[in-house]
Chain A
Amino acid sequence: MLYREAGDFKKTYAEDSQTFPLKLDRYGYYLILAVAFLGVPLLINDYWASAVLIPFLIWSIASLGLNILTGYCGQVSLGSGGFMAVGAYATYKLMTSFPDLNIMIIVLLSGAITAGVGVIFGLPSLRIKGFYLAVATLAAQFFLVWLFNKFEWFYNYSASGQISAPTRSMFGYEITGPSATAEAKYIFILVLVVGLAWVARNLTRGRIGRSWMAIRDMDIAAEIIGVNPLKTKLTAFAVSSFFIGVAGSLFFAVYLGAVEVGEAFGIQKSFLVLFMIIIGGLGSIFGSFIGAAFLVLMPVLLKNIMVGQLGWPGDLAGHLELVIIGGLIMLTLIVEPHGIAQIWRVTKQKLRLWPFPH
């Protein structure tokens, strides 16, 4: 009744092929953007920024990246943590070697460096598939963490092996460093998130995205109809690693400010990103966001309910949190194996027909 396309006429091809063909969706999208850019910065404080919104946005970028590789191109990767580490260490080396370089350029360059590394580790995907590829990317994860721990050049020979981000600003606002305001950090990341999500959305519905999906659905058939597997798989690795590298760069420079590779970019981070896209929905941009929200916001929410509202002891809440999140993951996957994005899709379909389902 409320949510339908009747009366929403398309007069040009451009209108017909836009991302949100329905007026209601489009207005919803504009509203979310307006609230995110104009509303949230007025309300945000340090706690909301550092504990809730910034991690959510950064993990959204990472899960967008992995979704391109796994969800759209069908190549399973367990190396996301390692690729995030590449982004972070690239940022650190660039920041300390070129103090005058703009932070936005540094973040994008770090993404580009990670893309290069991702292509190298993507080469085995031309020969091996499925579980075997997962193991090869797992090796990348362990190799990269070992590399950044072993060679002191990566952390500028500091005594502890920690890297910490110096202060950098843009348009007079500090983006990294301890005195950067929550608003500046949030807007900086939000711009990147919106830009990258736009890129991801348009890549995946164009020629490149279609060739990724062809390889995912059946690589031999795709090859027969003229999709070059070398080029397709490696572009998927490159684009995916670019996103993950940017996420790692922001994770280090803007969010935490100081990291240590084993703890910040360990194997558990690779699994976290993989869980995000599985729960959110493979092959869905919206799913990447909702998956990140589920796994980043839910623990904070549960903690605040259990410790903040109910006054339970922190250790009990910490353990219960694991139980509840685990239970919710299982429940989601039983109820809807295609992820939360699929629930959303089905709901929309039902809404379009409601109240006359036939």
Chain B
Amino acid sequence: MKLSKLAVIATAAITMATPVLAQLTIPSLSYRTGAYASGGIPFADGYEDYFTLLNERDGGIGGVPINFIECETGYNTEKGVECYEATKGEGALVYQPLSTGITYQLIPKVTADGIAMHTMGYGRTSAANGRVFSNVFNYPTNYWDAASIAVNYLLDENAGDLTGKTIALVYHNSAYGKEPIRTLEALAEKHGFELTLLPVDAPGQEQKSQWLQIRRERPDYVLMWGWGVMNAVAIQEAANIRFPMENFIGVWWSGAEGDVLAAGDAADGYKALAMNGVGTDYPLFDDIQTYVVDTGKAAGAGDQIGTVLYDRGIYAAFLAHMAILKAQELNGVAQITQAMMIQGMENLVITEEIMAEYGLPGFGPEFEVTCENHGGPGLGAVQQWDASAQQWNLITPFAASDKSVINPLIEEDSMAYAAENNIELRCD
């Protein structure tokens, strides 16, 4: 009896969607709480501020206002599913969960529901194969590209030869951290270096034993796939064992201000990969200042503007904006549907002129998405932390990954998925 009473209260309390008028619904599955909030907050702020800017400055996209819905996931897959179910009925155009765990959860669901998902530089790497994954996109780059870009960078440092070197991978012991292992193993075979795997259990505050092992075995380089609190702890531990920072490279999720600031000067010289520009030296940020910050509409505390992950949130929102424009252009209507959004993403072209037109010149790589290739060109750069100036500097241009290694791996993994789930190949 108590149960039924509870159900009645719950029914009364939970009201579902307001009627959908002309609007473009963008859900944001963000996490501002929990162990990963340090990464989730700036990204969510950037993502939201960009759409606020579009509403304030242009009245939406193509004249249709944006309905922005934020839902807190706490980086937790169950809450992620709840958020997805709560928002999908409102005509959500694209999901960007910023969590590899939630991505895996949602891949079959978005495919069944006909909604697009964009996992920029995270998620399931083999989703780059558009012939298998019809609704999932991971342009402009992915984890396996990241692994290859990092190794390419090390090859350059060593005049093209890594034979006999050892590289340790410190990784978050989850789907996210395990993603690059396969590629690194293939690359180790190709270039003759030795790979040591050092898993760190979530959330990653406890890494003493891993770094003790690094201290004992003295690998030439350390790569890191970390997120949230794990990053700051790892950099601090590396500083404690006096591991040379210039030989320590994080993936693009391990290279934000919050990760390095805690270690102070000891973090100087730490490197991380980058997929987009950093800082506020782009015309778009003037508009954000005028239309969003000065009018008091900035998301969150408004103190993240210009940080690495804030800019990545901006970039993610920018790519969604471009895809919506593409979909509107292709279909000749302003109020696009979920299916049109997928079409827009599949035909997305980003050029230098387009980035300059929208106030972000040189912010990311130029690329093109096709039906077969949902992963883009896989470009990335290396950035280095300057502790005295407290800023990240790009030290290489955007460079390509070793596709001869990655493409067969993507093919193999996606085909295995297709076989497991009886998926018919598209694009023929």
- Chain A contacts to B: CB under 8 angstroms: 28, 32, 35, 46-47, 50-52, 55, 96, 149, 158-162, 164, 166-167, 177-179, 256-260, 262-264, 266, 289-290, 293, 297, 300-301, 303-305, 307-309, 313-315, 317-319, 340, 344
Which residues of chain B are near A52, meaning CB under 8 Å? 10
Interface of B is mostly: helix
Which residues of chain A are near B1, meaning CB under 8 Å? 28
Which residues of chain A are near B159, meaning CB under 8 Å? none
B104, A160: Cβ atoms closer than 8 Å = yes
Which residues of chain A are near B113, meaning CB under 8 Å? 178
How far, in whole Å, are A290 and B4 apart by their CA atoms in the complex?
11
Q: Please choose the segment from B56-64, B75-83, B150-158, B271-279 that sits at the chain A interface, where 4 or more of its residues have CB less than 8 A away.
A: B75-83
Q: Which 4 A-B pairs have the closest CB atoms?
A: A315-B32, A314-B72, A178-B108, A178-B112
- Chain B contacts to A: CB under 8 angstroms: 1-4, 6, 9-10, 13-16, 30, 32-34, 37, 41, 70-72, 74, 76-78, 81-82, 85-86, 88-89, 100-101, 104-105, 107-109, 111-113, 124-126, 173-176, 178-179, 181-182, 199, 201-202, 300, 413, 416, 420-422
Which of B13, B16, B76, B416 is most buried by chain A, counting CB atoms within 10 A of its CB? B13
How far, in whole Å, are A60 and B57 apart by their CA atoms in the complex?
51
How far, in whole Å, are A308 and B71 apart by their CA atoms in the complex?
10
Closest beta carbon of chain B to A184's beta carbon, Å: 14
Known: A293-B6, A318-B72. A160 touches B100 (CB 8 A): yes
Which residues of chain B are near A307, meaning CB under 8 Å? 71-72
Known: A177-B108, A305-B13, A318-B72. A51 touches B82 (CB 8 A): yes
Nearest chain A residue, comparing its CB with the CB of B112: A178
A300, B82: Cβ atoms closer than 8 Å = yes
A178, B82: Cβ atoms closer than 8 Å = no
Sample 30 A-B pairs with CB under 8 A, ordered by A number.
A47-B86, A50-B81, A51-B81, A96-B420, A149-B173, A159-B179, A160-B104, A161-B178, A162-B175, A164-B108, A166-B421, A167-B421, A178-B108, A256-B78, A256-B105, A259-B77, A260-B77, A260-B174, A289-B3, A290-B3, A300-B82, A301-B14, A309-B13, A313-B32, A314-B30, A315-B72, A315-B300, A318-B32, A318-B72, A340-B2
B33, A315: Cβ atoms closer than 8 Å = yes
* 5 further A-B pairs in the complex, CB-CB below 8 A; given A260-B104, A262-B201, A297-B10: A161-B178, A258-B104, A259-B77, A262-B202, A308-B13
Closest beta carbon of chain B to A69's beta carbon, Å: 24
Selected from B13, B41, B76, B179, the residue in CB contact (under 8 A) with A160 is B179
Which residues of chain B are near A46, meaning CB under 8 Å? 85, 88-89
A304, B174: Cβ atoms closer than 8 Å = no
A263, B85: Cβ atoms closer than 8 Å = no
How far, in whole Å, are A177 and B108 apart by their CA atoms in the complex?
8
Closest beta carbon of chain A to B147's beta carbon, Å: 12
B77, A301: Cβ atoms closer than 8 Å = no
Nearest chain A residue, comparing its CB with the CB of B412: A159
Selected from B33, B81, B82, the residue in CB contact (under 8 A) with A318 is B33
B105, A159: Cβ atoms closer than 8 Å = no
A160, B175: Cβ atoms closer than 8 Å = yes
Which residues of chain B are near A28, meaning CB under 8 Å? 1
Closest beta carbon of chain B to A151's beta carbon, Å: 13
Which residues of chain B are near A340, meaning CB under 8 Å? 2
Nearest chain A residue, comparing its CB with the CB of B201: A262
Closest beta carbon of chain B to A340's beta carbon, Å: 8
Which of A149, A263, A264, A344 is most buried by chain B, counting CB atoms within 10 A of its CB? A263
A159, B85: Cβ atoms closer than 8 Å = no
A159, B125: Cβ atoms closer than 8 Å = yes
Known: A32-B3, A178-B112, A290-B2. A160 touches B178 (CB 8 A): yes
How far, in whole Å, are A262 and B174 apart by their CA atoms in the complex?
7
How far, in whole Å, are A101 and B324 apart by their CA atoms in the complex?
44
Closest beta carbon of chain B to A96's beta carbon, Å: 8
Which residues of chain A are near B16, meaning CB under 8 Å? 47
How far, in whole Å, are A289 and B10 apart by their CA atoms in the complex?
16
Closest beta carbon of chain A to B271's beta carbon, Å: 25
Which residues of chain A are near B107, meaning CB under 8 Å? 258
B86, A51: Cβ atoms closer than 8 Å = yes
Closest beta carbon of chain B to A149's beta carbon, Å: 6
B105, A50: Cβ atoms closer than 8 Å = no
Nearest chain A residue, comparing its CB with the CB of B41: A315
Selected from A159, A258, A319, the residue in CB contact (under 8 A) with B33 is A319
Closest beta carbon of chain B to A77's beta carbon, Å: 22
Closest beta carbon of chain A to B142's beta carbon, Å: 12
Closest beta carbon of chain B to A337's beta carbon, Å: 19
A263, B101: Cβ atoms closer than 8 Å = yes
Which residues of chain B are near A314, meaning CB under 8 Å? 30, 32, 70-72
Which residues of chain B are near A164, meaning CB under 8 Å? 104, 108
How far, in whole Å, are A297 and B2 apart by their CA atoms in the complex?
13
How far, in whole Å, are A86 and B4 apart by their CA atoms in the complex?
33
How far, in whole Å, are A160 and B124 apart by their CA atoms in the complex?
8
How far, in whole Å, are A314 and B109 apart by their CA atoms in the complex?
24
Closest beta carbon of chain A to B297's beta carbon, Å: 13
Which residues of chain B are near A161, meaning CB under 8 Å? 174-175, 178
Which residues of chain A are near B76, meaning CB under 8 Å? 263
Nearest chain B residue, comparing its CB with the CB of A49: B85
B413, A159: Cβ atoms closer than 8 Å = yes
Which residues of chain B are near A55, meaning CB under 8 Å? 78
Nearest chain A residue, comparing its CB with the CB of B1: A28
Which residues of chain B are near A158, meaning CB under 8 Å? 413, 416
How far, in whole Å, are A39 and B241 apart by their CA atoms in the complex?
64
A304, B3: Cβ atoms closer than 8 Å = no
Known: A159-B179, A161-B175, A179-B112. A50 touches B85 (CB 8 A): yes
How far, in whole Å, are A55 and B72 apart by their CA atoms in the complex?
18
Known: A293-B6, A301-B9, A318-B32. A256 touches B81 (CB 8 A): yes
Which residues of chain A are near B88, meaning CB under 8 Å? 46
A178, B89: Cβ atoms closer than 8 Å = no
Closest beta carbon of chain A to B329's beta carbon, Å: 31
A262, B173: Cβ atoms closer than 8 Å = yes
Which residues of chain B are near A160, meaning CB under 8 Å? 100, 104, 124, 175-176, 178-179
Which residues of chain A are near B124, meaning CB under 8 Å? 160
Which residues of chain A are near B105, meaning CB under 8 Å? 256-258
How far, in whole Å, are A303 and B14 apart by their CA atoms in the complex?
9
A159, B77: Cβ atoms closer than 8 Å = no
A260, B125: Cβ atoms closer than 8 Å = no
